[in-house]
Structure 1
Amino acid sequence: MLTKVYGSAVFGVDAQVITIEVNVGRGIGYHLVGLPDNAIKESNYRIAAALIHNGYKIPGKKITINLAPADLRKEGSAYDLPLALGILLASGQISTDTVKEYLVMGELSLDGSLQPIKGALPIAICAREAGFKYFILPWENAEEAAIVTGLKVYGVKNIREVIDHFDKDQPLEEKKVDIEEVYYEQQRHAEHDFSDVKGQESIKRCMEIAAAGGHNIILIGPPGAGKTMLAKRLPSILPPMALDEALETTKIHSVVGRLKNTGLMTQRPFRSPHHTISDVALVGGGSYPQPGEISLAHNGVLFLDELPEFKRSVLEVMRQPLEDREVTISRARFTVTYPSSFMLVASMNPSPNGYFNDKDAPWSSSGTEMQRYLGKISGPLLDRIDIHIEVTPVPFEQLAETRRGEASADIRQRVIAARSLQTLRFRHIPNLHYNAQMNTRQIFTYCMLESASLKLLKSAMEKLNLSARAYDRILKVARTIADLDGSEKIRNDHVSEAIQYRSLDREGWLG
């Protein structure tokens, strides 16, 4: 007897329907075809034990299973449940006429209980688009999949519930999520707040500018100056994620299995990988590509602490994603593209010992040591960082103050107002939402300078020996500063403030 059950495979951040064809006929044997990986090939052992523990069995006949389309490689243990269901239907142990309306996924334990799967959200989106009415999956993933409207999601804990649903018409409990309620409820909570930061007013200003224009920023200062503390608070002043941004971000985290009993991600991600990370772990890849840290930081912040300690090869692979805001990974059989539109926040000490040019430091480094240290970061990568700022230690008097600083919520309101101006300005340009995304042509259109400002910028370019890319960065930052002031024109003071945020280019920092 031949039967068909439907599952799904995830490629990149999207999913595709997989038809699981099961035929039980004369003879003996178990044949699984359709490019399964080892985890799928081992499924017969898990399925056999799970069925026995629930009063069923794998029939002693010839079982042929095909995962169609057969030319796409399938991976993972999430096919256990649809395979088991197909075997029961094809062998006549249970019967139903409605299985074609269901998409089924789940990993089986030996006792028949279900383990969570990866990629539940993109699979649910695929099921809805393919016209399925129902989606059965492990209970732990139900809230994640229930984000998708127009699809009834059933979370189950054991294969027995699935069997009884089809064979004995016992209804499953539908998982429902009010996506708007979840979205607005979670927006109210922020773990870190700028009101906790003592002093550092100039750095807060830089962070506000970076958030308002989506600019990359590097913080340079000695140990204990507050670089990491400031970076962790940047997401709290970024505009709230739109619903489509939240869905896109949740899809990426779903693919790598980072969502456990959680639904929609509404807080902007903050990723802080250790400096020992490999280039594959950072940008994504592997024999069967998975998203890397830069994609997990999509629509949020990627924080690289102690930037010179990262391997140069790791930093260099970020150059293309920083420009294109996506990363493409190619393999012999297929190519996947992951989004990677993130704000890069980096920090570093000014010298190997951290105290270059500090007369009160316990020890010092020479200019040669400083050059060698900064030389670990390539000029092209440094040029892709819009704002360079020096962070100095906070004096004791400011640390001892009991008065709290300006709250993140107040700063965020100014950032939202500036972003609103940018959204209005770029409303007719697809995929352009804030100043940092402007290309050269758009900079020429929206960042026109008066003659006095041009003269000031020319002088700074020659003195600091800045590159053409740095020129574009200064204009973008000046445009953002003008937006924060509510000014349509870029004034002289906007340009001069933007120039000072490039003063930590290599030549400028070394004087």
Structure 2
Amino acid sequence: MTMGRAAGVVLMGTQGHMIEVEADISQTLPAFVLLGLPDASLKESQDRIRSAANNAGLALPPRKLTINLLPAPLRKSGSSLDLAILMSAWAADRHVSGTGGTVFLAELGLDGRLRPVRGVLPAVAAAVRAGFSRVVVSRGNAAEAALVPGAEVLAGDLVIEVAYAFRSDQWKELPSGAPDPLDRHWGGTTVRASAQGTSPSETDAPEVPDLAEVHGQHEARFALEAAAAGGHHLLLVGPPGAGKTMMAERLPSILPPLDEEAAMEVTAIASITANAKTVASLQRTPPFESPHHSASSAAIVGGGARVAAPGAVTRAHRGVLFLDEAPEHSRQVLDSLRQPLESGCVSLHRSEGSVTYPARFQLVMAANPCLCGMNTGSGTLCTCTVLQRRTYLSRISGPLLDRIDCQVQVERPRSVSQSLESSGESSGAVLRRVIHARAAQRERLAPWGLELNSQVSLKLLSHGLRLPRTATGRLDEALDRADLSLRGYVRVLRLAWTISDISGEDRPGEEHIDAAVQLRQQVGGPA
């Protein structure tokens, strides 16, 4: 009996699990047996692997080949184990050796080519954490794999190149008719990740629209700056053409670039959701997701038949989820956001298991004040009935509104001078204040392991960050009168701390709390 071993990785959500691939060749009738809870897509790999081996010039022996994927209780899916299975089979047939300490991540074409797969970044990260430093991928995944610090990445085009690099002592020359891998400079295409975890081919960040293009709207701009500085959720209500969508799209331009840890998380999510060849550098710009109002719960939160795929809330992790025309979204979809807004993650349960995706995003919603959109206060242009006016914004449930820190009324410019005035501050100028405010928050909240005011709990506001009664007196009275929920009380205080950080103050005073109350009470009635 001969045995061969190789290593691979399968993904459950964004978490990689190491898979040990065992191959056994026995002296019985030809067969290909795949054990270890493989799904349908993985079972199809049997024919791909045999054809790839034949066309590479190293056909599998005409005997029974048994492949075991460990750990056995973990369900395996996808085509990323193709190369690991073939290398373990060749190791069992003594064509290759030394495969046990290397992770192989590639799909095989019938012609023996290595094809890129999704999720290489989190898979390589899992391999490095497990102590595997050398990883073999297709050339299309080389730049992505090299983003992981500590990984030695070997990239190739053909499976015969991999076989020749791991050839055993009994293999002195290439099979007849096989292409010469040395002409492809296997050793010369080794890609090594730098200590900073950046790829040699890292590209510039995509352009983000500038806030200077927004004319007027001083109150809404201030709310946007406060939301960016403290990580607060935001609701913009106003008539069509007032600039709600325009401002929301410019929020990422005043958010600080992602740090190393956040960039790895965001890029890992892009790796499992994007095309297999599109991830070539770390994403430093906070993501911006804007799904259409016809999107389903599965599209927003995540879903799938067997193993749930990530939704828009996960793709917006560490960035912005923008819901334009929020009342037009399904009530079920809007209410499904309440749990991830509190927990920062979303757990999805399906027949083949559960998976948890990160979902710490900043929610921004835009809405018209009524069905026709023209209810600006006077009502002269509004064609809606009284009932329509009352019920339109109520499509956004009270519990969801209670989680929105800033609720701002956006007015149309009332004169040519307002609409055509010189542009306001650029995103760069606002970003500098946001970065300064976030630095103050990190310094203040470091003893509790927090970074943003939006993460502060009631317990911390009641003890470590407790404000004097002279500052919170009117806010306490509003809570006593039930004009303010306890959650609203906490969120007003969080917002007040952010406003004081923007102003450069050590702690919020009464004027900062009043400003926070105004930002929260302008839309939808009491906080």
TM over 0.5: yes
> Which amino acid in structure 2 is aligned with residue 71 of structure 1?
P
Residue 367 of structure 1: which of 386, 389, 397 is its match? 386
Instruction: Name the structure 2 match of 1:6.
Output: 7
Deviates more, 1:326-335 or 1:121-130: 326-335
- Distance in 2 separating the partners of 1:69 and 1:507: 56
2:50 is the counterpart of 1:45: no
Q: 1:502 to 1:367 in 2, by over 3 A?
A: farther
- The answer to whether the 8 A contact 1:145-1:263 is kept is no
Residue 206 of structure 1: which of 216, 220, 223 is its match? 223
Instruction: Name the structure 1 match of 2:157.
Output: 157
- Distance in 2 separating the partners of 1:434 and 1:465: 26
- Distance in 2 separating the partners of 1:155 and 1:228: 43
Deviates more, 1:83-92 or 1:32-41: 83-92
Instruction: Name the structure 2 match of 1:322.
Output: 341
Instruction: Name the structure 2 match of 1:175.
Output: 191
Instruction: Name the structure 1 match of 2:420.
Output: 400
Instruction: Name the structure 2 match of 1:89.
Output: 91
Instruction: Name the structure 1 match of 2:140.
Output: 140
Q: 1:405 to 1:18 in 2, by over 3 A?
A: same
- Distance in 2 separating the partners of 1:376 and 1:223: 18
Matches within 5 A, 1:179-258: 180=196, 182=198, 190-257=207-274
Deviates more, 1:416-425 or 1:154-163: 154-163
Instruction: Name the structure 1 match of 2:361.
Output: 342
Matches within 5 A, 1:250-269: 250-257=267-274, 260-269=278-287
Instruction: Name the structure 2 match of 1:288.
Output: 307
- The answer to whether the 8 A contact 1:139-1:157 is kept is yes
- The answer to whether the 8 A contact 1:447-1:490 is kept is no
Per-residue CA distance 1:206-262 (angstroms, 9 max, x = gap): 111111111000111111211111111111111221111111222222233456141
2:67 is the counterpart of 1:65: yes
- Distance in 2 separating the partners of 1:358 and 1:89: 77
> Which amino acid in structure 1 is aligned with residue 315 of structure 2?
L
Per-residue CA distance 1:409-455 (angstroms, 9 max, x = gap): 1111111111111111111112x211111111112235544445434
- Distance in 2 separating the partners of 1:362 and 1:189: 41
Residue 493 of structure 2: which of 475, 484, 489 is its match? 475
User: Cα distance, 1:369 vs. partner?
Assistant: 0.6
User: Cα distance, 1:370 vs. partner?
Assistant: 1.8
- The answer to whether the 8 A contact 1:270-1:300 is kept is yes
SS of the residue corresponding to residue 426 of structure 1 reads: helix
User: Cα distance, 1:195 vs. partner?
Assistant: 1.4
- The answer to whether the 8 A contact 1:465-1:507 is kept is no
- The answer to whether the 8 A contact 1:358-1:364 is kept is no
> Which amino acid in structure 1 is aligned with residue 21 of structure 2?
I
> Which amino acid in structure 1 is aligned with residue 356 of structure 2?
T
Instruction: Name the structure 2 match of 1:494.
Output: 512
- The answer to whether the 8 A contact 1:384-1:469 is kept is yes
Percent identity between the aligned chains? Answer: 37
- Distance in 2 separating the partners of 1:366 and 1:497: 33
2:488 is the counterpart of 1:444: no
- The answer to whether the 8 A contact 1:447-1:479 is kept is no
Q: 1:276 to 1:174 in 2, by over 3 A?
A: same
SS of the residue corresponding to residue 32 of structure 1 reads: strand
Q: 1:133 to 1:177 in 2, by over 3 A?
A: closer
User: Cα distance, 1:334 vs. partner?
Assistant: 4.3
User: Cα distance, 1:73 vs. partner?
Assistant: 0.5
2:40 is the counterpart of 1:21: no
- The answer to whether the 8 A contact 2:37-2:72 is kept is yes
User: Cα distance, 1:281 vs. partner?
Assistant: 2.5
SS of the residue corresponding to residue 72 of structure 1 reads: coil
- Distance in 1 separating the partners of 2:23 and 2:68: 7
Per-residue CA distance 1:320-370 (angstroms, 9 max, x = gap): 111111222345664432221111111111111111135587542233212
- Distance in 1 separating the partners of 2:265 and 2:480: 43
Per-residue CA distance 1:184-217 (angstroms, 9 max, x = gap): 9867764211112122222111111111111000
- The answer to whether the 8 A contact 1:220-1:348 is kept is yes
Instruction: Name the structure 1 match of 2:170.
Output: none
- Distance in 1 separating the partners of 2:494 and 2:204: 29
Deviates more, 1:412-421 or 1:468-477: 468-477
2:106 is the counterpart of 1:106: yes
Task: Give the alignment's Cα RMSD to 1 decimal.
Answer: 2.5
TM-score scaled by structure 1?
A: 0.92
SS of the residue corresponding to residue 366 of structure 2 reads: strand
> Which amino acid in structure 2 is aligned with residue 373 of structure 1?
Y
Instruction: Name the structure 2 match of 1:389.
Output: 408
Q: 1:258 to 1:436 in 2, by over 3 A?
A: farther
- The answer to whether the 8 A contact 1:147-1:179 is kept is no
- Distance in 2 separating the partners of 1:188 and 1:24: 50
User: Cα distance, 1:153 vs. partner?
Assistant: 0.6
- Distance in 2 separating the partners of 1:468 and 1:183: 47
Q: 1:11 to 1:442 in 2, by over 3 A?
A: same
- Distance in 1 separating the partners of 2:114 and 2:519: 54
Q: Which runs of 5+ in 2 are unaligned?
A: 168-172, 174-180
SS of the residue corresponding to residue 348 of structure 2 reads: strand
- The answer to whether the 8 A contact 1:153-1:175 is kept is yes
Per-residue CA distance 1:28-86 (angstroms, 9 max, x = gap): 21111111111111112222332233223233211111111111100011111122222
Q: 1:17 to 1:455 in 2, by over 3 A?
A: closer
- Distance in 1 separating the partners of 2:313 and 2:206: 24
> Which amino acid in structure 1 is aligned with residue 125 of structure 2?
I
Q: Which runs of 5+ in 1 are unaligned?
A: none
User: Cα distance, 1:101 vs. partner?
Assistant: 2.2
Q: 1:450 to 1:101 in 2, by over 3 A?
A: closer
- Distance in 1 separating the partners of 2:350 and 2:114: 32
Residue 376 of structure 1: which of 365, 380, 395 is its match? 395
- Distance in 2 separating the partners of 1:269 and 1:313: 24
> Which amino acid in structure 2 is aligned with residue 4 of structure 1?
R
Q: 1:22 to 1:257 in 2, by over 3 A?
A: farther
Residue 419 of structure 1: which of 409, 421, 438 is its match? 438
Q: 1:474 to 1:52 in 2, by over 3 A?
A: same
- The answer to whether the 8 A contact 1:464-1:505 is kept is no
- The answer to whether the 8 A contact 1:279-1:317 is kept is yes
Matches within 5 A, 1:495-510: 495-507=513-525
Deviates more, 1:20-29 or 1:70-79: 20-29
